[in-house]
Each structure stands twice: as C-alpha cells, then as structure tokens.
Amino acid sequence: MEEGTSKSPGHTPVTDPAYCQKWDPREDCEVRQILDRVADKWSLLVIALLDLRSLRFTELRREIDGISQRMLTVTLRQLERDGLVRRTVHPVVPPRVDYELTPLGATLHDTIEALVTWTEEHRQEIAAARDEYDRRAARTDELVDA
Amino acid sequence: MEEGTSKSPGHTPVTDPAYCQKWDPREDCEVRQILDRVADKWSLLVIALLDLRSLRFTELRREIDGISQRMLTVTLRQLERDGLVRRTVHPVVPPRVDYELTPLGATLHDTIEALVTWTEEHRQEIAAARDEYDRRAARTDELVDA
DNA sequence: CTGCATCCTTCCTGATACTG
DNA sequence: CAGTATCAGGAAGGATGCAG
C-alpha cells in the first residue's frame, strides 16, 4: 500500500519555493525546451564555429567531423527558427547560402564558450576519474568471476 | 570572385591556428566527448538538482519529469564515472542510495547555471523568433498550395 | 528502494537519387 | 552548391518485469 519512505511528512520536496522559482518541473516547460536546443551536441558546435565567422553549408559540414547532412540541416533550421542563426541565400549560380550568428546567437556563444573552457580546464581531472572508475569496475568484475 | 568551389587556394579553412588552438576537429577528441556528456539534456538537469542538495534515486526520478528509469541510471553512472557525482550506498533495508555533487561537479554547476540563466533571460526573444518563423513558413506553404 | 535485463519503438546515419 | 526524399541498418531511449 503505502511505503513509509516516500510519504509526505518526512519528504522534503525539491519542488519547494527555492526550486520552483528557477525550474519548471514540467517536461514541456519553455526553459527545458530551449535548454534541449542550446545544450544540443550539434548546436553547440555550430554556434562555436559561426562565432569565428559566417560559414556556408558545406564549410560547416566539413568542419564538424561526424555530422550527417541531415542533422546539419535539421540543426541549422532549428537554430534559425529560434532566432540564433541567420540564413542568407545569395541568388547566384551555383547557389550560395551563408549562415551567421544573430546578435542573440552571439550572446549565447559567450555562455557556450564558458562551457567549453570549463571542459578544457578539467579534462585531466575527468580523464583521471574515468580511469579510477574503470579500474574499480574491472576489479569488481574479477571478484564476480571468482 | 574565384568561386574556389571549396578548392585549396581561395578556401580559408576554419581549421587554421585560431581555430585549432581551441577545437580539435576530430569527432573522438576528448573535449567533444566531455561536451557531449556535460551538455546532455539529462545531465544538465541532474546537476542542477544535485546542486540544491543531495538526493536519492527516487527523488531525482520524481523531480525530473519525463526521464525514464533507465536514462536516470545511465546518466548517473556516467556522471559518477566522470567524477562529477558521488554515489553513496547506505547498508540498510530498504536500500538507500544518495547522490551528491563532487567539488568538480560543483564547479561545473556554475557554468550550467549560466546557461540556464541565459535561457530564462532570452526565452521571450526565442518565443518571438519562433512565432515569426512559423508565420513565415505558413505563408510560404500557402503560396505553394496556390 | 535501487537498478539490471529484456523487448520494442523511435531516431540517426549513410548511401543514393533527384531538384533548383 | 544546397538542399529534399527515401531506404536499410544500427544505436539510443522507453516500458516492463524481476532480483538484491
């Protein structure tokens, strides 16, 4: 019936004022939707590259190792829709399309840059933590085998 | 001028010194691997919640609307492996497992917080951009229909 | 309560063909 | 060049059942 552990009285909800003011817990909340977009693997790279200079479709494709044509298209469309990237079609042959950050996109880059910087500053620590974790896991597996 | 059609001479590579110092273009580069982790949809939310206070598995599951049990487990294991989250098992019945940020994880939270703040500060602009984009798209579709 | 194992669905890549 | 459309194969994610 009722499990004493997750009952109301002793349970301090994280969804109290201090939390609710910052996070809407609903899955479809606006902030979560935007976070899913800007914290996206490919969006991050596209924005970082476009901050250096405006780029054409093929240039982006070439620079971002591992991205498929489909995902680059999808990512650029999303970023354009969100007003972070401007798409400019030049009426020439062969067609030329330039992508560049909007002022809004540029402000996002500052934040993304911080994330990249953090990653670069702490990658040694993370690599060490991974080694440590994997070594422990290996030892545990040995015990299980025995 | 010289279209260069992405040939060698006229093509200004983004992978020049200014770029290479910051980004390793290879897909499997360490920085990209870590970014994929910390810029992950669920990782972001987990770290944001654990910054408020340490939480149990079920508490996290309840707070993060839409996450599956599997993904919460996977996300926590990855964060633990990377040294961002500490997992503490209390030898009691029923089992009790607490998750908390490590000092390293706490430093990451500062950066994530900036991303969340950016999102909150600009969500109106993004919503407006989306409306604008969707209206244009709707009008274009009309023309196509006609 | 915690979380692994299994099945099943959805998404993504990669290749290829075609339009403007 | 800059896409859209399609299809096969694979990986990621969701739902469920069960074990410690």
Question: Across chain A, what does the average pLDDT equal?
Answer: 84
Per-residue pLDDT reduced to its tens digit, A42-91: 999 999 999 999 999 999 999 999 999 999 999 999 999 999 999 999 99
Residue B8 has pLDDT above 50, yes or no: no
Q: How close does chain A come to B115, measured CA to CA in Å?
A: 6
What topology does CATH give the domain B27-145? Arc Repressor Mutant, subunit A (1.10.10)
pTM of the complete model: 0.86
B59 CA vs D18 C1’ separation (Å): 22
Residue A37 has pLDDT above 50, yes or no: yes
Q: How close does chain B come to A146, measured CA to CA in Å?
A: 23
- pLDDT band for position B10 (cuts 50, 70, 90): very low
Residue B146 pLDDT: 53
Helix (H, G, I), strand (E, B) or coil at B55: strand
User: Are the beta carbons of A35 and B44 closer than 8 angstroms?
Assistant: yes
Per-residue pLDDT reduced to its tens digit, B78-131: 999 999 999 999 999 899 999 999 999 999 999 999 999 999 999 999 999 999
A141 CA vs C8 C1’ separation (Å): 30
- Distance CA(A58)–CA(A48), nearest Å, equals 16
Residue B22 has pLDDT above 70, yes or no: no
Q: A116 to chain B: which residues are within 8 Å by CB?
A: 22, 31, 35
Number of residues that make up chain B = 146
User: Are the beta carbons of B39 and B31 closer than 8 angstroms?
Assistant: no
Cis check for the bond before A9: say yes or no (omega within 30 of 0).
no
Mean pLDDT of A30-40: 92
Q: How far is CA A2 from CA A7, A8, B90, in A?
A: 8, 11, 22
- DSSP state letters, A100-119: EE-HHHHHHHHHHHHHHHHH
Task: Please tell me what DSSP assigns to residue B31.
Answer: H
- pLDDT band for position B25 (cuts 50, 70, 90): low
Mean pLDDT of B48-70: 95
Nearest-CB residue to B126 (from A34, A115, A123): A34
